[in-house]
Structure 1
Amino acid sequence: MNIRIGQGFDVHAFGDGDHLMLGGVRVPHSRGIVAHSDGDVVIHALCDAMLGALALGDIGQHFPPGDARWQGADSRAFLRHCTGLVSERGWRVGNADITVVCERPKVAPHAPAMREVLASDLGVALDALSIKATTSERLGFTGRGEGIAAMAVCLLVRA
């Protein structure tokens, strides 16, 4: 096969702070994220999708949360690592589609900047990357404003 597809999911609780990192972009918010790294759910879900397409496990296997090296780490380093793994194995990202699930913050105003950051790190054109958001209609932990989640799907094609 000359294509592979992977899917990823990540979730983090809100905690103290005044911003979130989403897709490599600092997004002002009344809360921060509880996480070992910077807690960027967009990048974490995308990394899991890429690793899944390669059958290489998940982000926690490559960057264990108990490892002090990753305390407060910029998740873009994770993405660049995963992009390297894709390339080393003879693949490239064909496209990726990411959905953020939260009531707040509003994601749409920041999506263009996220797309630019991620497209740059992935080495793809902007039209190969989609970022969208939805609420959970005030249901569950995201609906109660307790946290944020992201889902990603990534198509790899032979380089």
Structure 2
Amino acid sequence: MRIGQGFDVHAFGEGDHVMLGGVRVPHRRGVVAHSDGDVAIHALCDAIFGALALGDIGRHFPPSDERWRDADSRRFLRHAAMLMAQQGYALGNADLTVICEAPKVGPHVQAIRERLAADLECEVGRISVKATTTEKLGFCGRGEGIAAQACVLLERA
């Protein structure tokens, strides 16, 4: 078995939605990012890459590379899943926490779980998604951005 953890953060900017786990979540602001800025998927990719000892998402999809401008982060997650399979691992489980004051994540949790499970080719029951606030403290608490952290357990397939 191998364990990995990941973290990602993006500042809010212009826009009318955020992407979370491949799901378009309406919000009064968007995020400032090179790709679609999906903090949930970025944290999850980093957790998988970490468990495989393959660096971080920036190593695989550098923000300096224009190919990834406005990219759908689900491509990144499917790449991580492919590398996991190539190295002989399967996802045991993933635990993901989105950190923000807004938007409200709860109404979208099931859709996020289903989208992530589809991209990782696993049962929905292996994916946990939850949300928390920072009680109005720090950049998330002030509504300046959004963050996510993820932990994965990989098992030999």
Tell me which residue corresponds to 1:62: 60
Tell me which residue corresponds to 2:48: 50
Tell me which residue corresponds to 2:132: 134
Which of 112, 115, 118 in structure 2 is aligned with 1:117? 115
Amino acid in structure 1 at the alignment position of 2:62: P
Q: Any idea what the Cα deviations from partners look like across 1:22-66, whole Å, max 9, x if unmatched?
A: 000000000000000000000000000000000000000000001
CA distance in 1, matches of 2:69, 2:117: 25
Tell me which residue corresponds to 1:152: 150
The alignment's TM-score, normalised by the length of structure 1, stands at 0.98
Q: Any idea what the Cα deviations from partners look like across 1:71-130, whole Å, max 9, x if unmatched?
A: 000000000000000000000111000000000000010010000000011011111000
- Structure 1: 5+ residue runs without aligned partners? none
CA distance in 2, matches of 1:101, 1:21: 14
| Percent of paired sites with the same residue | 69
Amino acid in structure 1 at the alignment position of 2:73: S
Tell me which residue corresponds to 1:107: 105
CA distance in 2, matches of 1:148, 1:139: 13
CA distance in 1, matches of 2:49, 2:93: 14
Residue 50 of structure 2 aligns to a residue whose secondary structure is helix
- How far apart are residue 152 of structure 1 and its match? 0.0
Residue 135 of structure 2 aligns to a residue whose secondary structure is coil
CA distance in 2, matches of 1:89, 1:132: 29
- Structure 2: 5+ residue runs without aligned partners? none
CA distance in 2, matches of 1:40, 1:56: 20
The alignment's TM-score, normalised by the length of structure 2, stands at 1.00
CA distance in 2, matches of 1:67, 1:144: 31
CA distance in 1, matches of 2:42, 2:148: 8
CA distance in 2, matches of 1:75, 1:45: 11
Which of 81, 87, 92 in structure 1 is aligned with 2:79? 81
CA distance in 1, matches of 2:47, 2:81: 11
Tell me which residue corresponds to 1:30: 28
Residue 112 of structure 2 aligns to a residue whose secondary structure is helix
CA distance in 2, matches of 1:97, 1:108: 15
Matched, 1:71 2:80: no
